[in-house]
Amino acid sequence: MSSLQEQLLKAGLIDESRAKQATKERQKRANQARKSAGKSATGKVDPKKAAAEKRHSERVARDRALDEKRKLARERKAITAQVKQLIETNKVDRSKGEIPYSFVYRKKIKKVMVGETEKKLLAGGRLAIVTMVINNEGRRFELVPIEVARKIAQRDAEAVIELNDADANPSAENDPYADYKIPDDLTW
């Protein structure tokens, strides 16, 4: 059985362009009816539909916030891995260190055992002290060259503990204590 529109076309009572226009109008009315299905006859919004839309928007906002948190956690983990790799590949061997070198870490004085050359390089600004987390339990302090310490500071500024810049030392012209020598055996 054919539709009324097809029958009218066969009979020659309507032409094809008029039939297409009628089909488009019918689809348009159906879409408008679907869109306004949430409204009652008086034009008010259905409270159930409004509540569902609100829940949906809240869920979307919560999901976005969770995704952002996860993204930040992945970035933090990647940065930590980069810092750990930089430290592991560039650390200075301190196995023969016998001189304690003191520094301040989180308002506490910490010590690392270094050799004579490492102590001079630390004081001269050629080495830096950095820290890394070991299995989420504690921290380990290592010595790395100053260039590596700057790379680490770009990724994580808290990982670099002591970075003595040789260029940042005050000039001898303005130093009121330039005439006083510091003893070689002074440690604190």
The answer to whether residue 2 sits within a structural domain is no
Are 145 and 90 spatial neighbours (Cβ–Cβ below 8 Å)?
yes
Contacts of 10 (CB under 8 A, 6+ apart): 2
Sheet bearing 160-163, strands edge to edge: 138-145, 127-134, 160-163
pTM of the model: 0.55
**pLDDT per position as a tens digit, 54-110:** 999 999 999 999 999 999 999 999 988 888 888 889 888 888 888 888 888 888 888
Domains of the chain: total: 1
Residue 39 lies in a domain: no
> Torsions phi, psi of 136, nearest 5?
55, 15
In a domain, residue 11? The reply is: no
Domain extent at residue 135: 48-169+180-188
